[in-house]
Amino acid sequence: MARITLKGDPVQTFGDLPAVGTTAPDFTLTGSNLSELSLKDVLGGTVILNIFPSLDTQVCAMSVRRFNAEAAGRPGVKVLCISADLPFAHARFCETEGIDNAVNLSSFRSQDFGRDYGVEITTGPLRGLLSRAVVILDKEGFVIYTEQVPEIAQEPDYEAALAALP
């Protein structure tokens, strides 16, 4: 389990991120139009999983904007922005913010996602939501980069994630 903090207070997650070099766990998540999207639907190019607690926080919203602007428009790169927010919140956020390259997905129907990826927060006030993490997969679904952000209120290391792209 990852030991992270929320504004300095300890928080734990269920398990750890998938290890670099391993096959990413399969998932089926819900899109902002209520359609389902599985890992197999996005393989064939590099996939960035931008995982976070909620679009309703400034840091989470910033990560979606930044990955949308800096990575989602690159050829062969797909950015999936994943939280437990309802699909309606994802749709509203994308429309308001002009998010047109990244794909926003909800884990609200997939309780396994947070556990399989080691990002389900199990203690503290955000218990049940997803921790802030970045997982990058190659075109075949192997994990090539991970970052479990140590402080939930902190942004991910965008430069390191972008440098990991093939």
The structural domains of the chain, ordered by start, are 3-151 (3.40.30.10)
Checking phi first, is residue 40 left (phi over 0); if not, alpha (psi -120 to 50) or beta?
Answer: alpha
So what's the pLDDT on residue 111? Answer: 83
- SS3 letters across 105-140: EECCCCHHHHHHCCCEECCCCCCCCECCEEEEECCC
CA gap 157, 72 in Å, rounded: 16
So what's the pLDDT on residue 139? Answer: 96
Q: What digits encode the pLDDT tens for the residues 126-164?
A: 999 999 999 999 999 999 999 999 999 999 999 999 999
Q: What digits encode the pLDDT tens for the residues 25-70?
A: 999 999 999 999 999 999 999 999 999 998 877 776 778 778 878 8
| Active-site choice (60, 82, 89, 149) | 60
CA gap 118, 126 in Å, rounded: 15
Read off the pLDDT of each residue in 7-19 and give the average, rounded to a whole number: 94
Q: What is the model's pTM?
A: 0.93
When computed from its CA atoms, the radius of gyration of the chain, rounded to whole angstroms, is 14
So what's the pLDDT on residue 60? Answer: 63
C-beta of residue 135 within 8 angstroms of C-beta of residue 27:
no
60 is catalytic: yes
DSSP letters of 45-82?
Answer: BEEEEEE-S-TTSHHHHHHHHHHHHHTTTSTTEEEEEE
Q: What digits encode the pLDDT tens for the residues 84-134?
A: 999 888 788 767 777 777 788 999 999 899 999 999 999 999 999 999 999
